[in-house]
Amino acid sequence: MLALLLALLLGLAGVAPAVAGPVSGGWHTGAGVAGTGYFVGQHRNAEGLIAYCTDFERFSPDHASGYTDGNAGPFVRSDGTTLSAEDNSTLALVLGRWGATADNGEAASVQLAVWSLTATGMGWDTPSMDHFIRDQELAPAVASRARAMVEQARAEAGPYSISAAFTPEGVGGRVSATILSADGTSRPGLRLEAVASGAGFVDGSTTSAWTSGADPHVLDVRPTGFGPARVTITAPSVPATNAAWLAPREPDVQRLVVAPVSADATTSVDLPFQRAFAPEVTTSTSVARTSPGTPVHDMLDVSVASPGQWLIDPASGEAVELDVVSTLWGPLPSAPAEGPTVPAGTPSIGTVTTRVSGAGSYQTPSVTVPSAGFYVWTESIDPRSARPAQAAPLIQAWSGPFGLPLETTLVPWQPRLTTTLSQSSAPVGSVVHDTVASEGFDPADDGDLVRLTMYGPLAGMPAESPSVPGDAPVHSHTDVPAANGTVTSGNFVPLEAPGCYTVVASFSGSSTEEPFVSAFGIPDETVCVEEPPAPAPVPEGRPPAEHVPAPAPAQADASPGHEQQLARTGVSAATMAGSALIALGLGVGLSIAARRRTVR
């Protein structure tokens, strides 16, 4: 320990601790001036320790058998009075700055300066001090130099401190440092060192050293990680605030004072470090209603939950990047119910990723909706997606709820109907009905109806047209449920007039279904009605033939085997009777015709 203290005193570097424990004897004079009866200067022991006497009225150190105690803190004079804090700092600076000198005159001045502070009654301009200087025939320069040392030491005495401040600038900032004496004055010429933890300086190093000047020294610093960062500044060699002093075993021998060559002044500046933050995303789908085969994307409004701030990558000065993962769920048969999580078994049609780097608006890649139904987006952020990866521990995971209306897209159902009339031709007075085959309706039965409107009578078979002609008369209508499957309608009003009749199927649509109208004049939806054929006209002047019933057959003879018959030669009786009836009929007809001509 003593060897270390000697090296520190002689080398004017490092920090010498207060001496504790026994100190060997063998003291002898070092640099200094021999007066007429006193040696005025430093003393050294066998180990080379440098010290100065404090008690003018006592014997010199070579009379001591040893020094047993080391003391630190305010010095106590032999009369029991304690030096003030200012005098202690002044004494320490005198010893620390000039005490290890090898110059005889300088060492003598140091001893006079020490006695002026520690010896009872030996202050400047006291009779004892003036008498001693004259009696020992000391050169005036020795005394004036001693007085100057005390004055300078008093002006520059400690405690020394370091004033440091951090000014943010970009991702890092600037640390300014000044070393100050006890009176708050900056002190140039002192060595300072800075060590950065969790940060680095502009040249990429973590240490920096410089000599203080009149103006503050500025260090450009930048955090190297996402945790706490600190710059510690040390002045390793500044005047101490107290001297170390030794007590001899003999009470009539001078005590000795040694001084640390320097003390440390240290301060630290904590850089504002980036704290954990929670990203948030407000989302809305690109379109609320669309058709199958349409690309759909999501709009992302990225922010940070208060009071956090988005992390900045210290290496690049750029915002940390995160992946927002978006999933489009569907098709769903009905509008999704809001909930904190996605229901189990919910189908999805795609997942896309959007890289975000700070708060702002972003657009996801698109996903194509394939068919009718409801689709809804959800988003999530996993901290493990952070770039750089070191930022992940400072990022909170986030996920959005399921079923938000602003995140829902409807692809309406598109009904398709095929209709067929029960007849394609019919006589006047007939009734017909329709058979309707439907598909593409919303599976949810909402009670909507398909209207079947019959137009007619038309003059002829209508031409097929996408729209109903303006002059087409409405004959009647009936309704069937707007639902998937095949259904038979009720009968239309009877077809009482000849002509052609055609049916148009129409559905007005709903909140989830597109409207539908079939074409006009579809052959399968057309029936033509005709009057029954008129009877053949009767020629003029010729009455219509009257129906003459056939004669009853002749009764068979009761005698078996006997057959009554006329002779087969000539006309039979039946033939003759028939001829007579014909002749009678013609006569009546001619008579009637003669009467009709008379009436006309």
69-78, 232-241, 358-367: which range is least confident on average? Answer: 69-78
Instruction: Report pLDDT digits (tens) over 153-166.
Output: 998 888 999 999 99
Query: Are 36 and 143 in the same domain?
Result: yes
The H or E element spanning position 576 is helix 573-599
pLDDT value of residue 339: 96
Cis status, amide bond into 388, omega within 30 of 0: yes
Mean pLDDT of the chain: 85
**Among the listed residues 538, 539, 548, the one whose alpha carbon sits nearest the alpha carbon of residue 586:** 548
**Among the listed residues 177, 165, 176, the one whose alpha carbon sits nearest the alpha carbon of residue 265:** 177
Q: For position 217, which CATH number holds?
A: 2.60.40.10
pLDDT value of residue 101: 95
Give, in degrees to the nearest 5, the angle at Cα 281 between 276 and 286: 160
**Among the listed residues 167, 395, 388, the one whose alpha carbon sits nearest the alpha carbon of residue 275:** 395
What is the rounded CA–CA span in Å between residue 537 and residue 182?
Answer: 146
At 476, is the secondary structure helix, strand, or coil?
strand
Query: Are 140 and 21 in the same domain?
Result: yes
Exposed e or buried b for every residue in 320-333, given b needs 16+ CB within 10 A? bbbbbbbbbbbbbe
Full residue range of the structural domain in which residue 123 is found: 2-156
Final residue in a domain of this structure, among 99, 128, 156: 156
Name the phi and psi angles at 251, rounded to 5. -75, -15
Asked if residue 313 belongs to a domain, the reply is yes
pLDDT (average), residues 563-584 = 36
Query: Are 423 and 343 in the same domain?
Result: no
Hey, what are 339's tokens? 């909930």
Asked if residue 566 belongs to a domain, the reply is no
Name the phi and psi angles at 185, rounded to 5. -90, 135
Asked if residue 561 belongs to a domain, the reply is no
What is the rounded CA–CA span in Å between residue 217 and residue 252?
Answer: 51
What is the rounded CA–CA span in Å between residue 421 and residue 195?
Answer: 96
Final residue in a domain of this structure, among 156, 171, 199: 156
What is the rounded CA–CA span in Å between residue 91 and residue 103?
Answer: 19
pLDDT score of 13 more than 90: no
Name the phi and psi angles at 179, rounded to 5. -100, 135
Non-local CB neighbours of 283 within 8 Å, separated by 6+ positions: 298, 299, 300, 301, 326, 377, 379, 400, 404, 406, 407
Of residues 273 and 537, more confidently modeled: 273
Non-local CB neighbours of 2 within 8 Å, separated by 6+ positions: 19, 23, 24, 47, 49
pLDDT value of residue 261: 57
Query: Are 304 and 174 in the same domain?
Result: no
Query: Are 407 and 420 in the same domain?
Result: no
CA 478 to chain centre: 57
| Beta strand pairing call for 172-180 and 449-458 | unpaired
Query: Could you tell me how many residues make up the chain?
Result: 600
Confirm if 283 and 298 have CB atoms less than 8 A apart. Answer: yes
Asked if residue 507 belongs to a domain, the reply is yes
Hey, what are 66's tokens? 């040893």
Confirm if 376 and 403 have CB atoms less than 8 A apart. Answer: yes
pLDDT score of 1 more than 80: no
With cut-offs at 50, 70 and 90, classify the pLDDT of residue 542.
Answer: low
| Beta strand pairing call for 425-427 and 526-530 | parallel
Instruction: Report pLDDT digits (tens) over 192-212.
Output: 999 999 999 989 899 999 999
pTM of the model: 0.59
Give, in degrees to the nearest 5, the angle at Cα 589 between 583 and 594: 130
| % of the chain beyond a pLDDT of 70 | 84
Query: Are 151 and 174 in the same domain?
Result: no
Query: Are 32 and 98 in the same domain?
Result: yes
Asked if residue 243 belongs to a domain, the reply is no
At 375, is the secondary structure helix, strand, or coil?
strand
pLDDT value of residue 539: 64
Instruction: Report pLDDT digits (tens) over 81-135.
Output: 999 999 999 999 999 999 999 999 999 999 999 999 999 999 999 999 999 999 9
Query: Are 545 and 484 in the same domain?
Result: no
- The residue assigned the tokens 């022991």 is 45
Q: For position 393, which CATH number holds?
A: 2.60.40.3930
Query: Are 132 and 23 in the same domain?
Result: yes
What is the rounded CA–CA span in Å between residue 501 and residue 458?
Answer: 6
Query: Are 38 and 55 in the same domain?
Result: yes
pLDDT score of 321 more than 50: yes
pLDDT (average), residues 527-552 = 66
Query: Are 347 and 443 in the same domain?
Result: no
In Å, how far are 331, 351, 411, 439, 513 from 375, measured between CA atoms?
A: 6, 13, 8, 21, 15
pLDDT value of residue 48: 81
Hey, what are 157's tokens? 């005495």
Of residues 442 and 307, more confidently modeled: 442
**Among the listed residues 272, 394, 391, 223, the one whose alpha carbon sits nearest the alpha carbon of residue 321:** 391
pLDDT (average), residues 529-540 = 74
Count the domains in the chain: 5
Instruction: Report pLDDT digits (tens) over 414-459.
Output: 999 999 999 999 999 999 999 999 999 999 877 899 999 999 999 9
Tell me, what DSSP letter sits at residue 444?
Answer: S
Q: For position 465, which CATH number holds?
A: 2.60.40.1930
In Å, how far are 245, 254, 307, 352, 549 from 249, measured between CA atoms?
A: 13, 10, 67, 87, 181
Cα diameter, the chain: 214
Report the side by side order of strands in the sheet with 50-53: 28-34, 39-44, 50-53, 256-258, 244-248, 67-72
Query: Are 288 and 180 in the same domain?
Result: no
Hey, what are 99's tokens? 């005490």
At 387, is the secondary structure helix, strand, or coil?
strand
The H or E element spanning position 72 is strand 67-72
pLDDT score of 599 more than 70: no
What is the rounded CA–CA span in Å between residue 372 and residue 414?
Answer: 8
Final residue in a domain of this structure, among 218, 238, 258: 238
Asked if residue 95 belongs to a domain, the reply is yes
| Helix, strand, coil content of the chain in percent (nearest 5) | 20, 35, 45
Asked if residue 248 belongs to a domain, the reply is no
With cut-offs at 50, 70 and 90, classify the pLDDT of residue 579.
Answer: very low
pLDDT value of residue 221: 94
Asked if residue 464 belongs to a domain, the reply is yes
| Beta strand pairing call for 244-248 and 263-271 | unpaired
